[in-house]
């Protein structure tokens, strides 16, 4: 089929730099990456154990706890996985928690947390201090989250099951992560089946859900706190148009620039299909597969001023 299978993505030819290279990367297998879990193990001890068994790896240049594995088919079959020393996690999936400016002792909400890669990474960054509320609407996915946080030695987490659009307004959090459900275009390298569901109906259905989640997150964060909004899709309807809507609906929030050394990304869009968007959306970041040999990610950083 070649590039024909990627016909639904042709709409992005104008906004994705080096589009032909982008398509070629979608044909390549996604590198296998894991996060070293410092709640249970020291980084150097884990690396030494892998090296002793002849497992080839490369440390991520931009994140000291991330590594890329080369001669391992399934990282989940490694002893280090069962011991909770590592957690399989796509490289760009590690980005959103690192943008949260987490401080020891903070109260943090992951509004769409299951199966828990980012939520457990938040606990790791907090070194099991403070408290992380990991919420998801899906009971089956929450069971995976529980398995993960128990295996990884997380001690500062509570699990809740609410529709994130109606999460109770009983307190305000220091930081909120909205890793929103999306059309998943950024995971095509792992699952070509994603392509079958793409189209305007999917994009706008997701848009309505995502903007409701982000509006709730803004209400749930304290003044001065941060909301990180992320998706693993390229669709502007699910990314910039969601953030644009919230910026225009809610006073007292502003976008902050994404600062991340060691990875290439492009700014968020300020125009799409003739529609002018909020100029501050250039502060957002788009990570494309061919820029760093990863999956895809969109991320926005919103500060609540009042």
> What residues does each domain of the chain span?
2-29+92-304, 31-89
pLDDT value at 40 more than 60: yes
| 3-state SS, residue 203 | helix
Q: Could you give the CA distance from residue 133 to residue 173 in angstroms, rounded to a whole number?
A: 10
Token pair 């929450």 is at which residue?
A: 142
Q: Do 2-29+92-304 and 31-89 agree at the fold level?
A: no
pLDDT value at 267 more than 80: yes
Q: What is the CATH number of domain 31-89?
A: 3.30.70.1170
Under CATH, what is the fold of the domain 2-29+92-304? Answer: Rossmann fold (3.40.50)
The answer to whether the CB of 124 falls within 8 A of the CB of 98 is no
What is the reported pLDDT for 225?
99
pLDDT value at 120 more than 90: yes
| Average pLDDT over every residue of 184-200 | 95
**Among 112, 182, 184, 232, which one carries the catalytic annotation?**
232
Mean pLDDT for the chain overall: 97
Angle CA(161)–CA(118)–CA(76) in degrees, nearest 5?
100
pTM of the model: 0.97
Q: Could you give the CA distance from residue 282 to residue 10 in angstroms, rounded to a whole number?
A: 22
232 is catalytic: yes
The answer to whether the CB of 35 falls within 8 A of the CB of 87 is yes
| Average pLDDT over every residue of 120-140 | 98
| Average pLDDT over every residue of 213-231 | 99
C-alpha dihedral sign at 223, 226, 232, 234: positive
- Indicate left, alpha or beta for 130 from its phi (over 0: left) and psi (-120 to 50: alpha): left
Which residues make beta-bridge pairs with 301?
228
- Strand 285-287 and strand 266-267: the pairing is antiparallel
| 3-state SS, residue 126 | coil
What is the reported pLDDT for 2?
58
């Amino acid at each position: 089929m070649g590039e024909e299978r990627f016909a639904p993505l042709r709409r992005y030819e104008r906004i994705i730099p080096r589009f032909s290279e982008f398509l070629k990367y979608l044909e390549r297998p996604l590198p296998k990456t894991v996060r070293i879990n410092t709640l249970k193990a020291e980084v150097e001890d884990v690396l030494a154990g892998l090296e002793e068994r002849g497992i080839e790896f490369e440390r991520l240049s931009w994140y000291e706890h991330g590594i890329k594995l080369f001669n391992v088919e399934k990282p989940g079959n490694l002893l280090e996985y069962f011991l909770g020393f590592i957690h399989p996690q796509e490289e760009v999936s590690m980005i959103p928690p690192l943008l949260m400016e987490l401080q020891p002792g903070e109260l943090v909400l992951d509004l769409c947390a299951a199966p828990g890669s980012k939520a457990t990474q938040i606990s790791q960054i907090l070194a099991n201090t403070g408290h992380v509320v990991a919420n998801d609407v899906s009971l089956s996915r929450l069971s995976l989250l529980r398995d993960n946080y128990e295996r990884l030695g997380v001690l500062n987490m509570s699990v809740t099951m609410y529709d994130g659009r109606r999460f109770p307004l009983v307190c305000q959090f220091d930081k909120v992560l909205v890793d929103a459900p999306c059309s998943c275009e950024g995971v095509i390298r792992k699952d070509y089946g994603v392509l079958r569901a793409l189209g305007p109906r999917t994009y706008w259905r997701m848009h309505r859900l995502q903007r409701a989640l982000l509006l709730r997150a803004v209400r749930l964060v304290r003044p001065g706190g941060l909301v990180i909004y992320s998706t693993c899709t390229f669709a502007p309807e699910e990314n910039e148009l969601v953030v644009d809507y919230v910026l225009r609906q809610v006073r007292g929030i502003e976008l902050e620039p994404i600062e991340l050394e060691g990875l290439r990304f492009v700014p968020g869009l300020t125009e799409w299909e003739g529609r002018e968007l909020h100029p501050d959306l250039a502060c957002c970041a788009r990570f494309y597969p061919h820029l760093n040999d990863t999956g895809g990610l969109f991320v926005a950083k919103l500060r609540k001023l009042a």
